[in-house]
Structure 1
Protein backbone atom coordinates (compact mmCIF):
# COMPACT_ATOMS: atom_id res chain seq x y z
CA UNK A 1 0.00 0.00 0.00
CA UNK A 2 1.24 3.46 -0.89
CA UNK A 3 0.45 6.11 1.73
CA UNK A 4 1.11 9.69 0.63
CA UNK A 5 0.78 13.01 2.45
CA UNK A 6 0.21 15.90 0.04
CA UNK A 7 0.73 19.28 1.73
CA UNK A 8 -0.44 22.53 0.14
CA UNK A 9 1.12 24.99 2.57
CA UNK A 10 3.45 27.48 0.85
CA UNK A 11 5.68 27.62 3.94
CA UNK A 12 8.44 25.00 4.32
CA UNK A 13 8.34 22.87 7.49
CA UNK A 14 4.83 24.13 8.22
CA UNK A 15 2.49 23.12 11.00
CA UNK A 16 0.22 21.76 8.26
CA UNK A 17 3.01 19.39 7.24
CA UNK A 18 3.32 18.20 10.85
CA UNK A 19 -0.42 17.58 11.12
CA UNK A 20 -0.50 15.79 7.74
CA UNK A 21 2.29 13.45 8.81
CA UNK A 22 0.53 12.81 12.12
CA UNK A 23 -2.66 11.96 10.22
CA UNK A 24 -0.89 9.70 7.73
CA UNK A 25 0.90 7.85 10.53
CA UNK A 26 -2.36 7.43 12.49
CA UNK A 27 -4.24 6.12 9.45
CA UNK A 28 -1.38 3.82 8.47
CA UNK A 29 -1.25 2.29 11.94
CA UNK A 30 -4.99 1.68 11.98
CA UNK A 31 -5.19 0.07 8.54
CA UNK A 32 -2.18 -2.15 9.17
CA UNK A 33 0.32 -0.18 7.11
CA UNK A 34 2.57 1.52 9.62
CA UNK A 35 5.42 1.81 7.09
CA UNK A 36 6.91 4.81 5.40
CA UNK A 37 4.72 7.71 4.32
CA UNK A 38 5.79 9.47 1.16
CA UNK A 39 5.48 13.22 1.46
CA UNK A 40 4.84 15.75 -1.27
CA UNK A 41 5.41 19.17 0.29
CA UNK A 42 4.37 21.68 -2.35
CA UNK A 43 6.34 24.49 -0.71
CA UNK A 44 9.47 23.05 -2.32
CA UNK A 45 7.84 22.86 -5.75
CA UNK A 46 6.03 26.20 -5.78
CA UNK A 47 8.38 28.03 -8.18
CA UNK A 48 7.98 25.31 -10.82
CA UNK A 49 4.29 24.42 -10.61
CA UNK A 50 3.20 26.80 -13.35
CA UNK A 51 5.84 25.70 -15.84
CA UNK A 52 4.33 24.62 -19.15
CA UNK A 53 6.48 21.50 -19.06
CA UNK A 54 6.84 20.34 -15.48
CA UNK A 55 10.44 19.86 -14.36
CA UNK A 56 11.53 16.43 -13.03
CA UNK A 57 10.72 17.22 -9.38
CA UNK A 58 7.14 18.18 -10.28
CA UNK A 59 6.74 15.12 -12.53
CA UNK A 60 7.98 12.92 -9.68
CA UNK A 61 5.48 14.53 -7.26
CA UNK A 62 2.67 13.98 -9.76
CA UNK A 63 3.67 10.32 -10.11
CA UNK A 64 3.82 9.85 -6.33
CA UNK A 65 0.39 11.40 -5.78
CA UNK A 66 -1.11 9.67 -8.83
CA UNK A 67 0.12 6.31 -7.56
CA UNK A 68 -1.15 6.69 -4.00
CA UNK A 69 -3.48 4.13 -2.51
CA UNK A 70 -4.22 6.38 0.46
CA UNK A 71 -3.76 10.12 0.01
CA UNK A 72 -3.89 12.54 2.93
CA UNK A 73 -4.46 15.96 1.35
CA UNK A 74 -3.68 18.77 3.79
CA UNK A 75 -3.81 22.52 3.45
CA UNK A 76 -4.07 25.55 5.66
CA UNK A 77 -7.28 27.46 5.15
CA UNK A 78 -6.71 30.60 3.10
CA UNK A 79 -9.68 32.81 2.20
CA UNK A 80 -12.09 30.17 3.57
CA UNK A 81 -10.76 27.33 1.41
CA UNK A 82 -7.59 25.38 0.52
CA UNK A 83 -4.55 27.19 -0.89
CA UNK A 84 -4.05 28.19 -4.49
CA UNK A 85 -0.78 26.27 -4.37
CA UNK A 86 -2.68 23.03 -3.77
CA UNK A 87 -5.17 23.90 -6.53
CA UNK A 88 -2.41 24.62 -9.05
CA UNK A 89 -0.82 21.25 -8.33
CA UNK A 90 -4.07 19.30 -8.46
CA UNK A 91 -5.05 21.08 -11.70
CA UNK A 92 -2.29 19.04 -13.37
CA UNK A 93 -4.49 15.95 -12.93
CA UNK A 94 -7.36 15.22 -15.28
CA UNK A 95 -10.85 14.24 -14.17
CA UNK A 96 -10.76 10.71 -12.81
CA UNK A 97 -6.96 10.62 -12.51
CA UNK A 98 -7.02 9.68 -8.82
CA UNK A 99 -9.57 6.87 -9.19
CA UNK A 100 -7.24 4.33 -7.58
CA UNK A 101 -6.89 6.37 -4.38
CA UNK A 102 -8.85 6.88 -1.23
CA UNK A 103 -8.36 10.53 -0.27
CA UNK A 104 -8.61 12.02 3.19
CA UNK A 105 -9.07 15.81 3.18
CA UNK A 106 -7.60 17.82 6.05
CA UNK A 107 -7.66 21.57 6.61
CA UNK A 108 -5.87 23.54 9.32
CA UNK A 109 -7.70 26.77 10.11
CA UNK A 110 -7.51 29.79 12.35
CA UNK A 111 -11.24 30.31 12.76
CA UNK A 112 -13.92 27.68 13.42
CA UNK A 113 -16.28 29.43 11.00
CA UNK A 114 -14.23 27.84 8.21
CA UNK A 115 -14.73 24.27 9.44
CA UNK A 116 -17.14 23.34 6.65
CA UNK A 117 -14.54 24.20 3.99
CA UNK A 118 -13.04 20.72 4.22
CA UNK A 119 -16.37 19.23 3.08
CA UNK A 120 -17.65 21.98 0.79
CA UNK A 121 -14.44 22.88 -1.04
CA UNK A 122 -11.69 20.27 -0.71
CA UNK A 123 -13.83 17.10 -0.85
CA UNK A 124 -15.52 18.07 -4.17
CA UNK A 125 -12.14 18.75 -5.78
CA UNK A 126 -10.86 15.32 -4.78
CA UNK A 127 -14.07 13.65 -5.97
CA UNK A 128 -13.79 15.46 -9.32
CA UNK A 129 -10.33 13.93 -9.69
CA UNK A 130 -11.86 10.49 -9.16
CA UNK A 131 -10.63 9.81 -5.64
CA UNK A 132 -12.88 7.94 -3.28
CA UNK A 133 -13.57 10.15 -0.27
CA UNK A 134 -15.55 7.79 1.97
CA UNK A 135 -14.95 9.58 5.24
CA UNK A 136 -15.51 12.97 6.80
CA UNK A 137 -12.53 15.24 6.40
CA UNK A 138 -10.68 16.69 9.35
CA UNK A 139 -10.94 20.38 10.20
CA UNK A 140 -8.30 21.22 12.81
CA UNK A 141 -8.01 24.63 14.43
CA UNK A 142 -4.56 26.12 14.82
CA UNK A 143 -5.29 26.36 18.54
CA UNK A 144 -5.75 22.55 18.57
CA UNK A 145 -2.32 21.79 17.10
CA UNK A 146 -0.77 21.13 20.53
CA UNK A 147 -3.41 18.38 20.92
CA UNK A 148 -3.10 17.14 17.34
CA UNK A 149 -1.98 13.60 18.28
CA UNK A 150 -5.12 13.05 20.32
CA UNK A 151 -7.55 14.77 17.92
CA UNK A 152 -6.09 13.19 14.81
CA UNK A 153 -5.95 9.81 16.55
CA UNK A 154 -9.66 9.98 17.39
CA UNK A 155 -10.49 10.99 13.80
CA UNK A 156 -8.28 8.22 12.39
CA UNK A 157 -10.03 5.70 14.62
CA UNK A 158 -13.40 6.76 13.20
CA UNK A 159 -12.37 6.76 9.54
CA UNK A 160 -9.94 3.82 9.36
CA UNK A 161 -12.69 1.19 8.94
CA UNK A 162 -13.94 2.99 5.82
CA UNK A 163 -10.39 3.31 4.46
CA UNK A 164 -9.77 -0.39 5.11
CA UNK A 165 -13.07 -1.26 3.46
CA UNK A 166 -12.16 0.73 0.36
CA UNK A 167 -8.74 -0.91 0.13
CA UNK A 168 -10.19 -4.40 0.64
CA UNK A 169 -12.93 -3.82 -1.92
CA UNK A 170 -10.43 -2.65 -4.45
CA UNK A 171 -8.33 -5.79 -4.14
CA UNK A 172 -11.14 -8.31 -3.66
CA UNK A 173 -11.52 -10.86 -6.43
CA UNK A 174 -14.63 -10.56 -8.44
Structure 2
Protein backbone atom coordinates (compact mmCIF):
# COMPACT_ATOMS: atom_id res chain seq x y z
CA UNK A 1 0.00 0.00 0.00
CA UNK A 2 1.42 3.35 -1.03
CA UNK A 3 1.86 5.98 1.65
CA UNK A 4 3.16 9.53 1.54
CA UNK A 5 4.36 11.46 4.56
CA UNK A 6 3.88 15.19 4.09
CA UNK A 7 6.45 16.90 6.28
CA UNK A 8 5.42 20.43 7.22
CA UNK A 9 8.57 21.41 9.08
CA UNK A 10 10.38 24.44 7.62
CA UNK A 11 13.67 22.63 8.32
CA UNK A 12 14.38 19.64 6.07
CA UNK A 13 15.76 16.49 7.69
CA UNK A 14 13.96 17.36 10.92
CA UNK A 15 12.75 15.35 13.89
CA UNK A 16 9.29 15.71 12.34
CA UNK A 17 10.50 13.78 9.32
CA UNK A 18 12.08 11.15 11.52
CA UNK A 19 8.88 10.76 13.54
CA UNK A 20 6.87 10.34 10.31
CA UNK A 21 9.29 7.69 9.07
CA UNK A 22 9.01 5.88 12.39
CA UNK A 23 5.20 5.99 12.24
CA UNK A 24 5.17 4.58 8.70
CA UNK A 25 7.58 1.81 9.75
CA UNK A 26 5.44 0.95 12.79
CA UNK A 27 2.49 0.48 10.43
CA UNK A 28 4.57 -1.52 7.93
CA UNK A 29 3.96 1.03 5.18
CA UNK A 30 6.19 1.68 2.20
CA UNK A 31 6.31 5.44 2.59
CA UNK A 32 7.48 8.17 0.26
CA UNK A 33 8.54 11.42 1.95
CA UNK A 34 7.52 14.86 0.80
CA UNK A 35 9.37 17.69 2.50
CA UNK A 36 7.13 20.69 1.87
CA UNK A 37 10.04 23.07 2.60
CA UNK A 38 11.75 21.83 -0.57
CA UNK A 39 8.93 23.32 -2.65
CA UNK A 40 10.12 26.79 -1.64
CA UNK A 41 8.54 29.89 -3.12
CA UNK A 42 6.52 27.76 -5.52
CA UNK A 43 4.00 27.36 -2.71
CA UNK A 44 3.15 31.02 -3.14
CA UNK A 45 2.63 30.89 -6.90
CA UNK A 46 -0.52 29.19 -8.16
CA UNK A 47 0.25 26.82 -10.99
CA UNK A 48 3.82 26.01 -9.95
CA UNK A 49 4.60 22.68 -11.66
CA UNK A 50 6.59 21.26 -8.72
CA UNK A 51 3.78 22.00 -6.28
CA UNK A 52 1.21 20.55 -8.68
CA UNK A 53 3.29 17.38 -8.99
CA UNK A 54 3.63 17.17 -5.20
CA UNK A 55 -0.14 17.46 -4.78
CA UNK A 56 -0.64 14.65 -7.28
CA UNK A 57 1.91 12.47 -5.45
CA UNK A 58 -0.10 12.89 -2.27
CA UNK A 59 -3.42 12.30 -4.01
CA UNK A 60 -2.14 9.01 -5.44
CA UNK A 61 -1.35 7.57 -2.00
CA UNK A 62 -3.66 5.33 -0.03
CA UNK A 63 -2.36 6.63 3.29
CA UNK A 64 -1.24 10.18 4.01
CA UNK A 65 0.76 11.01 7.11
CA UNK A 66 0.47 14.75 7.73
CA UNK A 67 3.37 15.64 10.03
CA UNK A 68 4.16 18.97 11.63
CA UNK A 69 5.92 20.43 14.60
CA UNK A 70 3.59 22.22 16.97
CA UNK A 71 3.89 25.95 16.41
CA UNK A 72 1.81 28.39 18.45
CA UNK A 73 -0.47 25.49 19.41
CA UNK A 74 -1.16 24.32 15.85
CA UNK A 75 0.51 22.99 12.70
CA UNK A 76 2.89 25.15 10.67
CA UNK A 77 1.88 27.77 8.13
CA UNK A 78 4.08 25.91 5.66
CA UNK A 79 1.87 22.84 5.93
CA UNK A 80 -1.21 25.08 5.67
CA UNK A 81 0.10 26.60 2.42
CA UNK A 82 0.48 23.13 0.95
CA UNK A 83 -2.89 21.81 2.16
CA UNK A 84 -4.56 24.89 0.66
CA UNK A 85 -3.71 23.41 -2.77
CA UNK A 86 -6.20 20.56 -2.27
CA UNK A 87 -9.87 21.06 -3.18
CA UNK A 88 -12.29 21.12 -0.25
CA UNK A 89 -14.19 17.85 0.27
CA UNK A 90 -12.51 16.05 -2.61
CA UNK A 91 -8.79 16.84 -2.33
CA UNK A 92 -8.04 13.82 -0.14
CA UNK A 93 -11.22 11.84 -0.82
CA UNK A 94 -10.63 8.10 -0.73
CA UNK A 95 -7.53 8.42 1.40
CA UNK A 96 -6.75 7.55 4.98
CA UNK A 97 -4.93 10.38 6.74
CA UNK A 98 -2.99 10.36 9.98
CA UNK A 99 -2.22 13.60 11.80
CA UNK A 100 1.18 13.54 13.54
CA UNK A 101 2.62 16.40 15.55
CA UNK A 102 5.71 16.86 17.67
CA UNK A 103 5.86 19.37 20.49
CA UNK A 104 7.98 20.56 23.38
CA UNK A 105 5.54 19.64 26.14
CA UNK A 106 2.23 18.02 26.99
CA UNK A 107 0.26 21.29 26.90
CA UNK A 108 -0.45 20.83 23.18
CA UNK A 109 -1.17 17.10 23.22
CA UNK A 110 -4.59 17.66 21.64
CA UNK A 111 -3.22 19.73 18.75
CA UNK A 112 -3.36 16.88 16.21
CA UNK A 113 -7.03 16.26 17.07
CA UNK A 114 -8.11 19.88 17.37
CA UNK A 115 -6.14 21.54 14.59
CA UNK A 116 -4.75 19.10 12.03
CA UNK A 117 -7.39 16.37 11.87
CA UNK A 118 -10.26 18.79 11.08
CA UNK A 119 -8.49 20.18 8.01
CA UNK A 120 -7.71 16.69 6.73
CA UNK A 121 -11.37 15.71 7.13
CA UNK A 122 -12.44 18.97 5.45
CA UNK A 123 -10.35 17.89 2.47
CA UNK A 124 -12.24 14.59 2.32
CA UNK A 125 -9.82 12.23 4.07
CA UNK A 126 -10.87 9.54 6.49
CA UNK A 127 -9.03 9.78 9.81
CA UNK A 128 -9.83 6.47 11.53
CA UNK A 129 -7.40 6.90 14.41
CA UNK A 130 -6.58 9.36 17.11
CA UNK A 131 -3.88 11.79 16.01
CA UNK A 132 -0.41 11.07 17.34
CA UNK A 133 1.31 13.69 19.47
CA UNK A 134 4.86 13.06 20.61
CA UNK A 135 7.32 15.04 22.67
CA UNK A 136 10.17 16.12 20.44
CA UNK A 137 12.68 15.47 23.24
CA UNK A 138 11.66 11.86 23.94
CA UNK A 139 9.84 10.47 20.89
CA UNK A 140 12.81 8.23 20.04
CA UNK A 141 13.05 6.74 23.52
CA UNK A 142 9.56 6.75 25.01
CA UNK A 143 6.77 4.29 24.27
CA UNK A 144 4.31 6.76 22.71
CA UNK A 145 4.58 5.30 19.20
CA UNK A 146 4.37 1.71 20.41
CA UNK A 147 1.29 2.52 22.49
CA UNK A 148 -0.35 4.35 19.58
CA UNK A 149 0.46 1.56 17.12
CA UNK A 150 -0.80 -1.08 19.55
CA UNK A 151 -4.14 0.68 19.80
CA UNK A 152 -4.61 1.97 16.25
CA UNK A 153 -2.53 0.09 13.67
CA UNK A 154 -5.16 -2.56 12.87
CA UNK A 155 -7.87 0.12 12.55
CA UNK A 156 -5.71 2.23 10.24
CA UNK A 157 -4.62 -0.66 8.03
CA UNK A 158 -8.15 -2.07 7.79
CA UNK A 159 -9.50 1.36 6.82
CA UNK A 160 -6.78 1.79 4.21
CA UNK A 161 -7.49 -1.66 2.71
CA UNK A 162 -11.20 -0.94 2.60
CA UNK A 163 -10.67 2.44 0.93
CA UNK A 164 -8.20 0.95 -1.59
CA UNK A 165 -10.61 -1.87 -2.48
CA UNK A 166 -13.32 0.58 -3.58
Matches within 5 A, 1:6-155: 6-27=6-27, 29=28, 33=29, 36-55=30-49, 57-95=50-88, 96-147=90-141, 150-155=143-148
What's the CA shift for 1:171?
Answer: 4.7
For 1:82 and 1:155, the matched residues in 2 are separated by 20
What's the CA shift for 1:47?
Answer: 2.0
Which runs of 4 or more aligned residues in structure 1 lie more than 4 Å from their structure 2 counterparts after TM superposition? none
Deviations 1:24-82 (A, max 9, x none): 1111x2xxx4xx31111111113210112213x21221111111101111000011000
Aligned to 2:4: 4
| 1:10 and 1:46 in contact (8 A); partners too | no
For 1:46 and 1:127, the matched residues in 2 are separated by 26
User: Unaligned 5+ residue runs, structure 2?
Assistant: none
| TM-score, reference length from structure 1 | 0.88
> What is the count of residue pairs matched by the alignment?
165
Aligned to 2:155: 162
Deviations 1:58-115 (A, max 9, x none): 1221111111101111000011000000000000001121111100100000121111
For 1:85 and 1:121, the matched residues in 2 are separated by 14
Q: For residues 69 and 172 of structure 1, do their structure 2 counterparts lie closer, same or farther at Cα, with a shift above 3 Å needed?
A: closer
What's the CA shift for 1:172?
Answer: 5.0
For 1:172 and 1:165, the matched residues in 2 are separated by 11
| 1:68 and 1:100 in contact (8 A); partners too | no
For 1:52 and 1:167, the matched residues in 2 are separated by 31
Q: For residues 2 and 146 of structure 1, do their structure 2 counterparts lie closer, same or farther at Cα, with a shift above 3 Å needed?
A: closer
For 1:147 and 1:51, the matched residues in 2 are separated by 40
| 2:94 and 2:164 in contact (8 A); partners too | no
RMSD: 1.6
